[in-house]
Structure 1
Amino acid sequence: MTAEAGTEARGNGEGRGDMLDLAALWAAIKRRRAWVVVPTLAALGLSFFAVNVVTPRYTGEVRLLLESRSGFYALPGQSAQDTAGQFDAEAVQSQVQIMMSRDLAREAIKRIGLVGNPEFDSGAGALGALRKVAVMMGLGAHPADRSPEERVLEKYYDRLLVYPVARSRIVAIEFTSQDRALAAKAANTIAETYLEFQEAAKQDNARSASAWLSTTIEPLRKRVAEADAKVETFRAQHGLFAGPNNTSINAQQLADLSTQLSAARSQQAEAQAKAGMIRDAIKQGRTFEIPEVANNELVRRLIEQRVNLRAQIAAESRSLLPGHPRIKELNAQLADLEGQLRGAAERAVRTLENEAKITGQRVESFQAALDGQKKNVATSNDSEVQLRALELDARTLREQLEQYMQRYREAVARDTLNATPADARIISRAVEPIDPSFPKKLPIVLVSTLATFLIALATIVTRELLNGQARPLPQPRGPRWVSVADEEAAAKSENPTPETPRRDSVAGLLTHAGRLGHIRLDLDRPEETLAAMAERTEEPQRGLAPVMLVLDAGAEGAAKPHDLAELLAQRCRCILVDLTSDHDHGEPGFSELLAGEALFSDIIMRATGSRLHSIGPGRAGREAVFAAADLVDVALDALCETYDWVLVAAASNDEASMLEPVARRAQGGLVMSGKASNGHALEVAYRLSELTKAPVSLVLDAEHEVPMARMRQDEEEPVEA
């Protein structure tokens, strides 16, 4: 419910009433314009005079780029080094601190010639009278007690500014002086001194390194020679000579024997295979298919003779019978040739078998030699292990010696003149400045004038606001309600006039436990009515608006609860829950909200041209609303979270049982009276004060208010709002 009511209120463009009265502030500023104009003009004149009288100062600026410049000199032939990693943000800050070191400052002071310069040297010239008195009283040291450089250091650092340029490796050096030539010279001298210091530091490092290396290399060279001698002596004693490819002789012999053994085994297997093939061919009658037999010269001649004999036998068989002696002779020759051929084949087989036997013997001899060599290698492993350890020591010492020799040569190279440039270079030298760096005339005049104007204006506004908060709240211009004792004292001291109205009803009202009072409803001055209501209201819970129960007891023509709500709506957010009568039965209202049939956005209404929000009783009537006291409290809490004032209007003749739940919940009660002499309104106020402990007030109309005789209305001036 709260969110919906707040959305409706914001949608209607409502604003808070606690806004500053800008018109009153502007009027106060115009009344006291002299307090703004005079200081502003004074500040303008003084600042203009000051910037023209003060001695100007000039600033010379030098910029250096930090980069590594040693790689090309000490290590020629190598590529440039990565300077980004060498000069990170911390490294740049370190170089800035070096530029501001005291050693560099003393050297720069000497080269610039600041000693004896009255601008920097406090000991230059005679001491003033005040300075002499201070020295005699012990309040200060005599300039002669310190060295010239020490006297200048304080002013030197005061005029020196060294800072790194953002997001770069550039460092700026600024020096300020009254002499423009001195400012430029000092900045250049400081930069050059820094570069020389860098070069000298590198040369010192190189000189120290070369001196240390020269004393270390000679003993290391002797140790290397001793280690090499130990290696050779151990190798000779144990026969661990090295062959080709830096392998030992035993290992090389073992490899050779293994190779020969493999070749002999291959030959043996080949000879055995050939012999078996020849035997199989002889058995199958395929002797001449064997390459070793067919390629034999004797076999070829025998084959030719056999061919010739077979040709003769064929020729003679045409004329001679098989039993003929010639045929028998030829067949005998042919059989002899066949025997010779078989004998040749058998000899080839025997030759191969003999070769296989010889190869087998070689294999056995190689195997025996290999086994013996393996034993020799196994026995020499321990010696080789010791030899490798000695070689490792010698190699380590030799590498260390080579590194030291290389570093020694580099250190000697760096120790020469101009061989070790500084890791920085000047990219922008200082020139004599034309415009002074101090004072900046136009900015100083503008800032001082504007600041004075704003301070004077803020002082007037603050004073008006504080005076407005400290001033008492506005009092109504109508008659003051006083107690019975005050009335009797006034009656004794003054003679009442015939026009003085009766005061008995008023006296009775004001003696009712001191909780009854009055509020003047002035449509022309809503601030006074709002201030009076705030005085006559209890403090609500934190973050909630007050609830006011308003009873209409005024006569015809007097102001109504709606008029009071309209007046409050002019200065703050106000809502009126109108339960005075059961009007507008056709429109949804508070009763539908309590029954859950409508939302706040459905029942909150606003008339055209008005800032006031209002809620009617609804179709069920106001009796249904007063009957649901618990739901009424919940709905009022929701409204109090959104609005500044919540007014619940009821009829003056309602029963106490109906009004009691709302009266107990309210932070104040209001009775619309119209006139101070309204007896019915007084009775309603008495009855309402019995239902609530909150203050109860009569709301009087300004035009109907009757002044009371001798009530100090004529004696006192009204309080200015």
Structure 2
Amino acid sequence: MTARYDTVAAAGESRYDTVAAAGESRSDLLDLPALWAAIKARKLWIIGPTLAALGLSFVAVNMVTPRYTGEARLLLENRDSFYTRPGQAVSETSGQQFDAEGVQSQVQVIMSRDLAREAIKRIGLVGNSEFDSGAGALGALKKVGVLLGIGAHPADRSPEERVLEKYYDRLLVYPVGRSRIVSIEFTSQDPALAAKAANEIAAVYLEMQEAAKQDTARSASSWLSTTIEPLRKKLAESEARVEEFRSRHGLLVGTNNTTITAQQLADLSTQLSNARSQQAEAQAKASIIRDAIKAGRTFEIPDVANNDLVRRLIEQRVNLRAQLALESRNLLSEHPRIKELNAQLADLESQIRAAAERAVRTLENEAKIAGQRVESVTAALDGQKKTASGANDDEVQLRALEREARTQREQLEQYMLRYREALARDAQNAAPADARIISRAIEPTTPSFPKKLPTILVATLATFLVALATVVSRELLNGGSPAPADDRPQRKARGRVEPAVGQPESEEDDAEAAAPPPRRRERIAGLLTHGGRIGQLHIDLSDAEAGLSDLTACVNKASEGHAPLVLVLDGAEPDDASPRALAQLLSERSRCILIDLASESRDRPGFSELLAGEAMFSDIITREEDSRLHEIAPGRAGREAVLAAPDIVDVALDALCETYDWVLVATASTDEAQVLSPLLARAQGALVMAGHAGNGHAVEAAYRLTDLTGAPIALVMLDAPETIDLVSQDKDPVPA
């Protein structure tokens, strides 16, 4: 319910049905036993369509005309070699590779219309009733369509055009993954025709490749033949202009492929260098001889010492010095003989000096001659430079003419080479196709369509799964197997919360009260008097689904995505029903967790450790064997530590409400208001376990709760077969 639970009686029977239905659909757990029972109950809805699909698929695959597929495979590679491409290396022609785009391009070539028309002629598809729509007489239905203008008459199109549509439907060309292999598949009802068509298509493709290469070579040779002759004439004219310009401007070529002007300039440069060298050498020798004469070392000069006259004079001087030394031992210096020898020796010295001076003058004369020669050669060189500088412009023009002629000569040689290659490739079998057949199609023995066994299995299995999914979906959408029609009034009566005494009942309630069943009169005890806010609820432990619906009607509706939080108080009597029994009942049809704050056990970690940060939810949530109920204990610190931190408790409860369908907080009915108030502030309802016969402590606890919360409050009695007279209607409320 969306409003507060002010009075259960005002809601009436229709309001209960709405809340009960919402409670029944609250659980999203998958009940496998109930689902399996529903599948078994509706097994005919699954087996029937499955058997029908099996039979129909078996008949269909045996009635369909089988088709056979022939497959041929091509390897795309460059088949040119040194012999088919003369003048080129083998590695340049055989190492080329087809990339992915090249392979796809060849696939499109195989599927081209020109190739298709040629293949149709060779295979003989024209006139074949399987492919040619114009073969044979027109059917009645087709004639009517032609008359009405819906379809065209087959005779209006050419035979190849009529066959092309079916041809492309039966043709499949695709590249084999990560390779340069192209597969050609052709499908036909005739296995021999399927194999023949695949082979013929591959053969036509190879022939078209060879023809394309030959056409390219033929067109190239034709173009080159018309280009070479004019180019040859241009070359002859260019060479004639070069020779004419050379002779007219005197740019004749001598040795070493240089012009005469350049050679003369080089010769004059050489002569000038030689003359300067001779002049410098003569001047140096003359200077050295003069220095030697001054130092009295004339005979040490090579040019003077090598002179015959000087050599004889030196020999005579040596002899005179020997005589002078011999005579000096016996004669004094004033002796005539000594004087004569000294005079002869002085004469020889003067003659030697005169010979050296003549050598100096000779060298100086040679230096003067060399200097004059240098001047004359320099003048000639300057004149030749002027001549050479004037010929530079002519040589520039000559080089331009030679360069043009050389370019035309190279172009003519290349064209001649290409022309000879094109003529060679134009010959038969000189241009192989860039592909070869690596696998020819053979006549298939097994039909490619239909695949009988896989088709039957797939159709049968698909029908079985669809039927099963339909049954399961219907069961899940309906929230489980519906109860029998005669049982639903008993379920409503068993969990219904009766209106308060003193409030008007609806007409439907009056009609039902007129003749209530005996068991229903025994189970319904009515409401207590405290403003009609305390209800009485009987739950049968043997019917978990009805108990879930009944309990849903006694609490306010929680916000979307959150489970209702319900506070459950024990009866404070030894024979009272335990909140655990109610939680066990809810866990059978929904996800339920019980937070036990009434227990004094401190032997295991629980809520206190979670609040202290010492444990996580996965550490404190426990579940007993053979039970779906989850439970959280107070913890080793006790319930006092839990109730001392209400803010943190609210955060933990919010997390649990987002995870479970029901969150039950069990406390003691003797707890004070300050303990129960924080929990009741966010609870959607409160339950007091009244046991099998009810007791005063439970009623007193229920009265105390009315002053603490505005949420619905109900006394819960489990398996109560008789009416329970709780208190007198005029009893005053018990204070909190």
The reply to whether TM is greater than 0.5 is: yes
1:23 aligns with 2:33: yes
- Deviation, structure 1 residue 97: 0.5
Contact 2:475-2:481 within 8 A present in 1 as well: no
In the alignment, which residue of structure 1 is the partner of 2:690? 673
**Residue deviations 1:638-687, cap 9 Å, x none?**
44455554322233355555433322212333232335876765665565
Match of 2:595 among 566, 577, 599: 577
CA 1:316–1:280 in 2, change beyond 3 Å: closer, same or farther? Answer: same
Partner Cα separation in structure 2 for residue 267 and residue 20 of structure 1 = 125
Contact 1:588-1:602 within 8 A present in 2 as well: no
In the alignment, which residue of structure 1 is the partner of 2:514? 493
**Residue deviations 1:234-262, cap 9 Å, x none?**
44444334444444444443333333333
Contact 2:81-2:94 within 8 A present in 1 as well: no
Map 1:176-325 → 2, pairs under 5 A: 176-313=187-324
Partner Cα separation in structure 1 for residue 580 and residue 716 of structure 2 = 13
CA 1:239–1:645 in 2, change beyond 3 Å: closer, same or farther? Answer: farther
Match of 1:410 among 409, 417, 421: 421
**2:669 alignment partner AA:** S
Partner Cα separation in structure 2 for residue 165 and residue 446 of structure 1 = 29
Contact 2:610-2:617 within 8 A present in 1 as well: no
**2:527 alignment partner AA:** V
Partner Cα separation in structure 2 for residue 361 and residue 119 of structure 1 = 114
**Residue deviations 1:416-459, cap 9 Å, x none?**
22222221122222222233323333333333333333333333
Q: Which range moves more in the overlay, 633-642 or 136-145? A: 633-642
CA 1:608–1:418 in 2, change beyond 3 Å: closer, same or farther? Answer: closer
**Residue deviations 1:544-585, cap 9 Å, x none?**
44322222347542322233334445666544333447x358
1:425 aligns with 2:462: no
CA 1:565–1:267 in 2, change beyond 3 Å: closer, same or farther? Answer: farther
Match of 2:720 among 699, 704, 708: 704
Partner Cα separation in structure 2 for residue 232 and residue 58 of structure 1 = 79
1:350 aligns with 2:339: no
Partner Cα separation in structure 2 for residue 46 and residue 59 of structure 1 = 26
CA 1:146–1:546 in 2, change beyond 3 Å: closer, same or farther? Answer: same
- Deviation, structure 1 residue 540: 4.1
Contact 1:505-1:682 within 8 A present in 2 as well: no
- Deviation, structure 1 residue 111: 0.9
Match of 1:63 among 66, 73, 78: 73
**1:450 alignment partner AA:** L
Partner Cα separation in structure 2 for residue 194 and residue 459 of structure 1 = 53
In the alignment, which residue of structure 1 is the partner of 2:537? 518
In the alignment, which residue of structure 2 is the partner of 1:103? 114
Partner Cα separation in structure 2 for residue 40 and residue 213 of structure 1 = 76
**Residue deviations 1:391-413, cap 9 Å, x none?**
44333344333333333333333
**2:679 alignment partner AA:** V
In the alignment, which residue of structure 1 is the partner of 2:16? none
- Deviation, structure 1 residue 102: 0.7
In the alignment, which residue of structure 1 is the partner of 2:164? 153
- Deviation, structure 1 residue 194: 0.9
Identity across the alignment (%): 65
Match of 1:663 among 671, 680, 685: 680
Contact 2:601-2:638 within 8 A present in 1 as well: no
Partner Cα separation in structure 2 for residue 375 and residue 201 of structure 1 = 65
The alignment's C-alpha RMSD in Å is 3.9
Contact 2:596-2:667 within 8 A present in 1 as well: yes
CA 1:638–1:32 in 2, change beyond 3 Å: closer, same or farther? Answer: closer
Long gaps (5+) in structure 1: 1-15, 709-721
SS in 2 for 1:418: coil
TM-score (norm 1): 0.83
Map 1:465-544 → 2, pairs under 5 A: 465-468=476-479, 475=491, 478=494, 480-483=496-499, 484-486=504-506, 489-490=510-511, 493-494=514-515, 500=521, 505-506=526-527, 512=532, 518=537, 520=539, 522=541, 524-534=542-552, 536-541=554-559, 543-544=561-562
SS in 2 for 1:558: coil
Match of 2:139 among 108, 123, 128: 128
Partner Cα separation in structure 2 for residue 18 and residue 84 of structure 1 = 67
Partner Cα separation in structure 1 for residue 711 and residue 241 of structure 2 = 115
Partner Cα separation in structure 2 for residue 245 and residue 142 of structure 1 = 88
Contact 1:554-1:560 within 8 A present in 2 as well: no
In the alignment, which residue of structure 2 is the partner of 1:547? 565
- Deviation, structure 1 residue 150: 1.1
TM-score (norm 2): 0.81
SS in 2 for 1:576: strand
In the alignment, which residue of structure 1 is the partner of 2:466? 455
**Residue deviations 1:47-95, cap 9 Å, x none?**
4444444333222221111122345323345223366755211111011
In the alignment, which residue of structure 2 is the partner of 1:630? 647
**Residue deviations 1:190-242, cap 9 Å, x none?**
11111111122222222333333333333333333443344444444443344
**1:444 alignment partner AA:** T
CA 1:391–1:525 in 2, change beyond 3 Å: closer, same or farther? Answer: farther
1:646 aligns with 2:663: yes
Partner Cα separation in structure 2 for residue 496 and residue 464 of structure 1 = 32
**2:496 alignment partner AA:** R
- Deviation, structure 1 residue 290: 2.0
In the alignment, which residue of structure 1 is the partner of 2:732? none
**Residue deviations 1:90-121, cap 9 Å, x none?**
11101100100111100111111111122221
In the alignment, which residue of structure 2 is the partner of 1:171? 182
CA 1:593–1:210 in 2, change beyond 3 Å: closer, same or farther? Answer: closer
Partner Cα separation in structure 1 for residue 64 and residue 520 of structure 2 = 79
Partner Cα separation in structure 1 for residue 464 and residue 390 of structure 2 = 107
**2:651 alignment partner AA:** V
In the alignment, which residue of structure 1 is the partner of 2:8? none
SS in 2 for 1:222: helix
1:393 aligns with 2:407: no
Partner Cα separation in structure 2 for residue 507 and residue 172 of structure 1 = 88
Contact 2:523-2:538 within 8 A present in 1 as well: no
**1:478 alignment partner AA:** R
In the alignment, which residue of structure 1 is the partner of 2:9? none
Partner Cα separation in structure 1 for residue 175 and residue 606 of structure 2 = 73
Partner Cα separation in structure 1 for residue 316 and residue 519 of structure 2 = 194
**Residue deviations 1:506-558, cap 9 Å, x none?**
3868x847x95736262x44444345445555554555443222223475423
CA 1:630–1:312 in 2, change beyond 3 Å: closer, same or farther? Answer: closer
Match of 1:336 among 335, 343, 347: 347
**2:461 alignment partner AA:** L
SS in 2 for 1:549: strand
SS in 2 for 1:426: strand
Contact 1:476-1:519 within 8 A present in 2 as well: no
**1:704 alignment partner AA:** A
Contact 2:68-2:190 within 8 A present in 1 as well: yes
- Deviation, structure 1 residue 141: 1.9
**1:268 alignment partner AA:** Q
**2:156 alignment partner AA:** D
Long gaps (5+) in structure 2: 1-25, 725-736
In the alignment, which residue of structure 1 is the partner of 2:730? none
SS in 1 for 2:353: helix
Contact 1:123-1:151 within 8 A present in 2 as well: yes
**1:384 alignment partner AA:** E
**1:88 alignment partner AA:** D
